[in-house]
Structure formats: structure tokens, C-alpha cells
Structure 1
């Protein structure tokens, strides 16, 4: 055990140290570190949780990457069909990290009841559709089943169900225009078998999930013609990389568009969360560091006699500074321990029970406040706080070099 660590340990363990005039200031400094870490952990967890949840919701309705024809169509409706028989369907063979590929076709129309009507986009899906992304949004009824014969089962949003005054089991009339506007529109008698609620109003007020064969029939497409492909990735962080790879691997007549490009405004807004979290972390570290500087200065003033004696015995200024920096590191570690215990505990409870909710969920697209944090975030945050706080303490620790042994001992 080195000399500086030994002296710091004796100071920490001394009863007089715990009952000294600096005890209250030290407790405040520890509390500041703990509260700061709690705030930083919660900021990171909620920021990442909200980012992930919004990304998941956008991907659930669109996939991570959409493959469609090149055209000037900026709507959600499928106009020009593409062949289902592609080298990458039903699975990419040359690109790793692709979780699933599914075929869809969209058709714009109107649902009409005796009381009111609503414009919709009928999202036609088939037996290859992965419902796992939509299961968590299901609120009533069941998911449609399109593995058998052509049917009229649909799943609508709770937003639309409330506006149309319909529920699970009801049958409604839907009208879809033909290419020739002078002809009567196609009419379908749809049966509501499920109601979903994603909290994403942009999608909830638009999409009705139905059988892709209904869209093919109304558009007079062949069985092997679909509107577009939705590609799901195993890792969202590889979105741009995989998007470029898929673009190069598909036919020149097809376009591959990532959801970050298609919904640019949403993902740019999501990126702002990182900036907000960085501001919170910077402010909390600054507040905690200032409190530790105050505690260190009080400790130095309180131990002036000891400093004078150590200098008289031959200890260097650097050696004595180490003693107080060891002491400060111990206090920071206590604050980090309690901060981690309380912060991670609160995050775990929120993740399990979702007791905290947004007062205005329509602005954040989620009702419950989502949380997500990894062990690496916790480790980097703790190491970063410890390092930066000690770095901030280096400058005030140089006050030790200004303490003269003769005056310090005589003062005592």
C-alpha cells in the first residue's frame, strides 16, 4: 500500500473526520454527485427508450427499408406494380443482417357508416406478413388471418373505430376508386376483427390492415404483382449501410428507401434527444464537480495542520495532493454508488411497471415513458463522471503548495 493511499484511508476512517465541521459539506457534495448521476441515468434511459420506441413504431408500419418502383408517387398508395418474383424475395441471400422481407400493396379509399365516413389506406398484406411487430399494439379482438382463402377481415385503429363508432365484429362498407373516374368505385364489405392503437396518430388515422388479394383484385393485378417490399433488419444501427447494399443488389428499375429518408422530419427530431441528454449530462457533471471542489477546499483548510506536519517531514506537494485526491475519489465513489443504486432501480421499476406516463402522449407518440439502457452506458457514464470530477479537482488542489509548514504548524 503506498503512502498517500494509506494516509487517505486513515483520514476517511477517523471518527473525528466524520464529526468535523466539514461533514455537512461533504454530505452535500456526495448528495450532489448521487442526484446528478440519477438525473443522467434517467436522461440517457428515457432518451434512448423514446428513440427506440419511435423507431420501432415507424418500422412496424413500413419496415426498415422499402423497395418499390421508381416513380413520382409521394403518396402511401401503390400505383405501379412490381413482380413478386425477385432474387431477394422471400429472403436476401447475399446480404447479412436481414431479418425478414414481406410483400404489401396499398389502396386508398373511404369507409362509410350510417353516421359518418373516414378516408383510409387499405394496407394489403399476405401470409408472409410478420405480425410480431403489430402484436403489442393490438387492443381488442385478434389479428387478421390471410393464410387461407380470400377474405374481408381487417384490423383498424382505435382512433378510427372511435370516429366511425364501430367495434370488433362490426361490418362496414368501404369504397375504392377505379382508374377510370367515370366508373363506379369498388365496394367491399369489411369485417372488423381487431383494433390496434400504436399511439402514432400519423399512422393510426390512416392505415387499415386487410388482405393483399383484395388490393390485387381491385387493381386488376396478377397474383404475382405487388405494390412494394418491406425489409426488416436485425440491427437498426446498420440502417444506412444495409440500405446502400440493398439498393445495389436490386434491379435498376427498383428503388430502396430507408425509413430515415422517408420520414426525415421524425428522425431529425429524434436525433435532438441526444443533444438534450448531452446538455443534461454536462450540467450535472458541472454541478457535481463544483460541489466536490467546495468539499475539497474545506477539507484542505480543515487539515492545514496535517499538511504542515507532512511537509515538515519531507512530503512533496504532489504527494499531499494525491492524499486529498484519493479522499475526494472516495467521496465521489460513494455518490456514484448511491446514484447507481437509486437511478438504475428507478429505471428498472419504470421498465417493469410503467408507472410514469406522458401527460401529452400525442406529442411523443407513446403513452408510457419508455426506458432503455445498457451496461456500457452505465460503465462509460460512471467512469466519465469520476474522471471529469477528479480533473476538475486538480486545479484547486494546488492550493496545498501555498501552505507554508511553519505557518500551518504555528497556526495550529
Structure 2
């Protein structure tokens, strides 16, 4: 029988425990633990949500890794074509962890209406493109139908549609430069069949999705010439490794770049979230630990007589310490329970009802994103419990200073 745990349970269940002088201090300690875990849960879930959302949106527009011709000079506009007949297309047989390899070609143009105009980039793709990203953010209409000989259907962003007052099934005028033609510009009249809204204004303001065959005609390319290849991988954490492997397995005239290399400022910015989260976790655990130390010392001083009696009966200092550590552990678990209940409830409200909104031009998302990760939640709870108990070991050593004769006499 674990008599230390037995005595700790009796102390917790006793009426004098709930009505003692230490009761308000204990409640404050429990509240501190609960608030700490609430703040830590929110910080971790939001930071992780930001990172996932932003990187998924960039990958949705650009793929995880792009393979282009060196002569394109990392431009968003395809100028020098690549032959579609490559060893790695339609799949990388020599590299594992590749989800999809898809072709694309970009062409800069200007949408012109009766009252306004807007510069855009027509991104041409084919039926093998992974449309899951655009399906998720499609707010009106549908995706273009690629099973037709001349596909003039496009989808545009909500922001472009609002600025130019465009609607579904509108036929619009788009002017493109014609480098290899006798005329300086070529006009096309695509039909808007879908409107998407990702909240990533940097891309929403420019990208128009259409058929790659239209870009090939505009550039005077053959059907075997494309602007480049986008590679989607299964695990983002292996991006750098897969990028190096892909670079080693493509031709000498081709170049591959990861989205972290293309947009270093954005990814450096979201990396800062990790530093902020670690700082918040350290501060919250420190505050919770200090409150628990105060509560533990008050509990010990309130039961000096009990400590003296236990010592007189032959109990060792460590055994008595364990009684109070069990007691403190119970208080920490209470705080963790209420903290998790409140924190997860707040996160669920934000996840489903999007209560807190953001400026997408600054934060790349329109609402505060939340990512639920069971591993993160368990790690926060277990880590908080263990660290707080470790912080309580040294203060509990005050028990060694209590002399049985004096404490019993004092009572």
C-alpha cells in the first residue's frame, strides 16, 4: 500500500482542506495553471495553424518544388519552354514521397473592362493538375472543363472579380503580349466559370487559372512544350531533402527551386512564430510554478503538526515530501483539466465560427487559423505537469527543517 498517496487523498478529501486559510491560495494556483495551459494551447494551435495555412496556400499556387528552364531567371512568366518528354514526368520513379508532378505555363496579361483594367498572370494547367486546393477555396461556380477541344474557361479570384465587377459566365477581354508575332498584342475572350478566394492577396490579386493549351497558342509553342513542372510532395518536413534529390535527378539545363527558396521572407516570418511560442510557454510554466510553490509552502506550514507526528512515527523526509507532492500534483491536474476544457472550447469556436478575422494583405489569411494536434496537446500537458512537480521538489525540502518535538509542542 502506498501510504503517502493514501494520506494525500485523505488531506484532499478532508473538509478542513477546503475551508482552511490556504484555500484561496490553492484556488489562485489552480486558476494560474488553467490560464497558463489555455494561453499555451492557443499560442501553439494558432502558430501551427498559421504555418500550415500559409505554406499550404503557397504550395497550392506554386507547388512544393518547381522545375523550370534556367533561362527563365526565376520569373513568374514562362518565356523559354521545356519539352514535356522528361524522365521524371508524369512521375518520379527514382524518388519516393512524390505526390504529383504537373505541368504549367504562365502568361502575363491585362483584363480590360469598360471602366477598368487589371494586370494578371494566366496560369495554364491540364487535366492532370491537382485541383484539390482550388476546390477547397472555390466560392462560386466550378472548375474549367478540360475535356473540350478549345477550352476558353477560366477561374478568377474574388478580389479581382470585385474590383472589375465580374460575375459568373461573363465573357471578358484579356490582352497578352505577342513576342513572336507580327502584332504586338493578342486578345482573348475567356469565360469566367468559377471564383475562388484563398485570402492570400499576393496571389489572389494576380493568378487566373485556365487551360495550358491557350498559353501554348499565345506563345506559339507546340503541344509538347510547357513552362515548367510543379512537384507536390507527401511530407513538407522533407522539402529540403526532396528538393536536393530532384535537383540531382533532372537535366543539366533545368533548375529546381523549393517554395522556401522562392519566398524566403514569408517562411522566415512564419518561423518567428516558433520563437514566440517557446517564449510564451516558458513564461506560463514559470508563473504556474511560482504559484504552485506558494501554495505548497502554505500547505506545509498549515500542517506542521502533522509533519511532526509523521516524523515521530518514523517517516522519512522524502516520504513526507511525497505526500505534499501528490497533493500538489492533484492541484496541477485540476488546473490542467479546466485549462484544457476552456482552451479547446475557445479553439473550436474559432475553428468553426471564424470569430477573429485578420487583414489578409498583412497576414496572408482572412481569419485566425487553428491547427489541432493531439501530440502538441499531450506534450503541453505532460510537460507542464512534470516541470511544475520538478520545481516543487526543492521547496518541499523545507520539511527537513521541521523538528518533531517543536512542531508537536507548537500545536
- TM value normalised by structure 1: 0.96
Query: What number of residue pairs does the alignment pair up?
Result: 411
The structural deviation recorded for 1:260 is: 0.9
List structure 1 runs of 4+ shifted beyond 3 angstroms. 180-183
Q: What does residue 314 of structure 1 align with?
A: 314
Asked whether the 8 Å contact 1:100–1:232 carries over to 2, the reply is: yes
**Cα offsets for 1:91-122 (capped at 9, x unmatched):** 22121111111100001111111111111111
1:227 aligns with 2:227: yes
In 2: Cα distance, 1:12 partner to 1:205 partner: 61
Counting only pairs closer than 5 Å after superposition, residues 62-81 of structure 1 correspond to structure 2 as: 62-71=62-71, 73-81=73-81
SS of residue in 1 equivalent to 2:189: strand
SS of residue in 2 equivalent to 1:136: helix
1:363 aligns with 2:362: yes
Counting only pairs closer than 5 Å after superposition, residues 19-98 of structure 1 correspond to structure 2 as: 19-71=19-71, 73-98=73-98
The range that moved more, 65-74 or 226-235, is 65-74
**Cα offsets for 1:185-241 (capped at 9, x unmatched):** 111112111111111111011111111111111111111100010111111111111
Distance 1:278 1:246, change over 3 A: same
The structural deviation recorded for 1:362 is: 2.8
The structural deviation recorded for 1:359 is: 4.0
1:379 aligns with 2:383: no
SS of residue in 2 equivalent to 1:20: coil
Asked whether the 8 Å contact 1:126–1:147 carries over to 2, the reply is: no
Asked whether the 8 Å contact 2:105–2:125 carries over to 1, the reply is: yes
CA RMSD of the aligned region, Å?
1.5
Counting only pairs closer than 5 Å after superposition, residues 256-267 of structure 1 correspond to structure 2 as: 256-267=256-267
The structural deviation recorded for 1:72 is: 5.5
1:296 aligns with 2:310: no
1:213 aligns with 2:213: yes
SS of residue in 2 equivalent to 1:339: helix
Q: What does residue 252 of structure 1 align with?
A: 252
Q: What does residue 237 of structure 1 align with?
A: 237
SS of residue in 1 equivalent to 2:94: coil
- TM value normalised by structure 2: 0.96
Counting only pairs closer than 5 Å after superposition, residues 5-20 of structure 1 correspond to structure 2 as: 5-20=5-20
The structural deviation recorded for 1:355 is: 3.5
SS of residue in 2 equivalent to 1:120: strand
Q: What does residue 394 of structure 2 align with?
A: 395
Counting only pairs closer than 5 Å after superposition, residues 164-243 of structure 1 correspond to structure 2 as: 164-179=164-179, 183-243=183-243
Q: Which runs of 5+ in 2 are unaligned?
A: none
Q: Which runs of 5+ in 1 are unaligned?
A: none
Q: What does residue 273 of structure 2 align with?
A: 273
The range that moved more, 259-268 or 356-365, is 356-365
Q: What does residue 336 of structure 2 align with?
A: 336
Q: What does residue 354 of structure 1 align with?
A: 353
1:4 aligns with 2:16: no
The structural deviation recorded for 1:311 is: 1.7
SS of residue in 2 equivalent to 1:210: strand
**Cα offsets for 1:55-95 (capped at 9, x unmatched):** 11101100111111113523210011001111111122121
Asked whether the 8 Å contact 2:72–2:78 carries over to 1, the reply is: no
Distance 1:359 1:259, change over 3 A: closer
Q: What does residue 144 of structure 1 align with?
A: 144
The structural deviation recorded for 1:142 is: 1.4
